[in-house]
Amino acid sequence: MENQTVVIVGGASGLGLETARLMVKRGALKIGLIDRNEQLLVQAAEELRGLGAEVAVAVGDIARKDTAHGAFEEIVGALGRVHCLVNSAAIYPRKDIFEITDEEWDLENAVNIKGTYHMMVAAVRHMQQYVAAPAVTGRIVNVTSVDAFKAHPQNAHYAATKAAVVSLTKSFAQACAKDQILVNSVAPAGFATERARQLGFLGELAAANPLGRAAEPAEIAEWIVMMGSSRNSYATGENVIVSGGYIYA
Ligand SMILES: NC(=O)c1ccc[n+]([C@@H]2O[C@H](COP(=O)([O-])OP(=O)(O)OC[C@H]3O[C@@H](n4cnc5c(N)ncnc54)[C@H](O)[C@@H]3O)[C@@H](O)[C@H]2O)c1
């Protein structure tokens, strides 16, 4: 990550913030955080500055194009060229598969699919200014989920949005390959963020996992860093599953 500038969407907490910490430890110089939670954004920025990074934050709801693009441009205005985008923002409510309302579908699709889409378009448009083939122009890493591949009726709408992001990742990878922009996703099984703890499903996921435990966020962040760093020069359109064997259980 040496000398890289990274924008992390959903970077105010959880996996996004853990990824930011790891990227700074691995040499990233500048971090841009986009999130709708202003209070957590301020705390996260302070922590990352303490680790030595230059940090810019933008408050925004990624579900809408104007706010998503506005937030990305705000970060570019403060930090300059962006080398890497990480899309970690998502909502994962649980709901009986037969009871999902129109409003719940619309919100799930708006944040998880459309939000990821808007952020990728904003980043690609920006990165396209810096094409110098055959060098890699930039990297995008989307956070998906094993739920995209395994039956999960406890949150079927969420699972469907993550399958959609796997699909979007492949389409963007194809469309951006000529510009040497690498687009990949990482699909974790359950891991112990504050939000996941609050929702109370980690015990159930740990019991279903061959390793007998949920992951720590840092164990997932490693793979995001791998796909978003200069160590990745050839993988694009891939979805890396990091599930402690849960995907095969
Ligand atoms: N925690 C798990 O067990 C687990 C498992 C598999 C996949 N994932 C995925 O990992 C990613 C991170 O999960 P987490 O546990 O760190 O969640 P989290 O809730 O801790 O972090 C998500 C962040 O996204 C932000 N956000 C949500 N909606 C937004 C919006 N509309 N606009 C801007 N920001 C918004 C939130 O404010 C929050 O800071 C998500 O994509 C999630 O689906 C999580």
Q: What is the pLDDT of residues 160-197, one digit of tens each?
A: 999 999 999 999 999 999 999 999 999 999 999 999 99
Where helices occur in the chain by DSSP H, the ranges are 14-25, 38-50, 65-79, 102-108, 116-127, 156-176, 194-199, 202-207, 217-228
pTM over 0.95: yes
Active site includes 246?
A: no
Question: pLDDT tier at 201 (50, 70, 90 boundaries)?
Answer: confident
Burial 186-196 (b: 16+ CB within 10 A, else e): bbbbbbbbeeb
Q: What is the pLDDT of residues 120-161, one digit of tens each?
A: 999 999 999 999 999 999 999 999 999 999 998 999 999 999
Using one digit for the tens of pLDDT, what is the confidence trace for 47-66? 999 999 999 999 999 999 99
Distance 133 CA to ligand 1 centre (A): 34
Amino acid at 121: V
Distance in angstroms (rounded) separating the CA atoms of residues 107 and 206? 28
Catalytic residue among 130, 158, 234, 248: 158
Q: Which of 88, 158, 219, 224 to mutate to test the pocket of ligand 1 (most atoms within 8 A of CB)?
A: 88
The helix/strand/coil state of 109 is helix
